[in-house]
Structure formats: C-alpha cells, structure tokens
C-alpha cells in the first residue's frame, strides 16, 4: 500500500444516533381520472419485496408487516417469479383447508403451501396501463375481485416479459385521499365508494 493514502479519523456513535433515509417525494392526491400509472408501484424505481418458496409462512407475514405491504413476489434465486403471496393467502380460508388435510400446525407452513402459483396469475400489460385511468384500474380489480394486479412490460435487458409494477387497492384508496387503514384489513370496494362518493 502506498504512503499516499492516510487513515481517516473515526468517531464513536453518540446515544440517539439515527440513520439517513432516502427522500421520498410527497405523493400527491389523485382522482379516478388521473393516469393509472400514477398509482402503480413501479418496480423500475422501487425495490420489489420478495420471498422464496421455502420461506416459512410466518416469516413472510412478518415481512409484510414490517414493510407495510400486502403482497410479496415469490421468486427463485435467479429472480424468476414463481408466484405471489398475498395477505388473502395468509388470512383467508386456504391455510385452514390445508391444515385440515395435512393435519399440521400453521407455524409449519411454508410460503409454497399457500402462495398463488405462476400459472394461476394474470397480469395487465404496461401498454394498456399507459392508456388507462385510475378508475379503470379500480374497475378491473372490482371485476376480478382482487386486491392487487401485476403489470408486465418487456425487460430492456432480455426483451422478455417481466413484472414491471403492481397495483394495490389499498394504496389507490390512500392516494385518493380516503381514510383507509391498509394494515387493518384489505380495502373493500364499498369503502372506496362510501369514502369517495365518486366511484
């Protein structure tokens, strides 16, 4: 090592030392006539929260709680999407049916036991989303009775379809300025209608 380099002085962390957080732009309120992409979680800009199939279900639930999300992509080590895990998968009837069949306790479940597998997933295309409005996304989620929708776009690296983003009914409700607590329970269409009176 050359003498041109010199060690920097070190300091001790004082009590109460915090850490920097990235500055998040204030999310403006939207209306149902705003572009749909304005309420899409764009995975080209934010990190996707993922789990593997072998992750214990309780750990998947913990990640959701810590991150304030209600959907996780289930991926292989090479980032291939093999399914999704939603709050409905965890809190719905599916775990109870599996426990009854297998005779095991909930804490023994893995993400693979309750996730929605890739062949059963449907997604919107980014091309359609780019021409849609927020109200169109709400109508789509209502039509399929889902809380979330994935969005596919061509990956610029491979040219193959990849999950570009996702829509969350709870997040749309918050962006519409509705008094919704997504950690309490999934947002319902009735809540959106009652709170906004405009849908």
Q: What is the pLDDT of residue 5?
A: 83
Instruction: State the average pLDDT for the chain.
Output: 82
**Least confident among 113-117, 130-134, 169-173, 184-188:** 184-188
Q: Name the residue ranges covered by the structural domains of the chain.
A: 36-196
- Cβ-contact 105, 99 below 8 angstroms: yes
Domain 36-196 sits in CATH at: 3.10.580.10
Read off the pLDDT of residues 20-50 as tens digits, 9 standing for 90 and up: 766 656 678 898 999 999 999 999 888 889 9
Residue 59 has pLDDT above 90, yes or no: yes
- pLDDT tier at 140, thresholds 50, 70, 90: very high
Determine the pLDDT at residue 60.
92
* Secondary structure in 3-state letters for the chain: CCCCCCCCCCCCCCCCCCCCCCCCCCCCCCCCCCEHHHHCEECCCCCCCEECCCCEHHHHHHHHHHHCCCEEEEECCCCCEEEEEEHHHHHCCHHHHHHHHHCCCHHHCEHHHHCEEHHHCCEEEHHHHCCCEHHHHHHHHHHHCCCEEEEEEECCCCCCEEEEEEEEHHHHHHHCCCCCCCCCCCCCHHHHHHHHCCC
pLDDT tens sequence across 63-76 = 999 988 889 999 99
Between helix 134-144 and helix 189-196 the angle, nearest 10°, is 140
Check pLDDT > 60 for residue 195: no
Predicted pLDDT at 1: 52
């Amino acid at each position: 090592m050359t003498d041109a380099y010199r060690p920097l002085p070190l300091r001790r962390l004082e009590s109460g030392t915090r850490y920097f957080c990235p500055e998040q732009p204030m999310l403006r309120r939207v209306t149902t006539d705003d572009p749909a992409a304005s309420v899409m979680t764009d995975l080209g800009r934010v990190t996707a929260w993922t789990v593997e199939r072998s992750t214990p279900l309780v750990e998947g639930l913990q990640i959701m709680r810590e991150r304030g999300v209600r959907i996780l992509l289930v991926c292989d080590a090479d980032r291939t999407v093999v399914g999704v895990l939603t709050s409905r998968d965890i809190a719905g009837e599916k775990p109870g049916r599996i426990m009854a069949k297998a005779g095991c306790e909930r804490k023994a479940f893995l993400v693979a036991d309750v996730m929605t597998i890739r062949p059963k997933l449907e997604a919107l295309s980014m091309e359609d989303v780019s021409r849609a409005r927020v109200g169109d996304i709400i109508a789509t989620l209502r039509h399929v009775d889902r809380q979330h929708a994935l969005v596919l776009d061509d990956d610029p690296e491979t040219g193959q379809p990849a999950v570009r983003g996702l829509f969350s009914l709870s997040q749309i409700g918050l962006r519409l300025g509705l008094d919704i607590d997504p950690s309490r329970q999934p947002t319902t269409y009735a809540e959106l209608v009652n709170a906004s009176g405009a849908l």
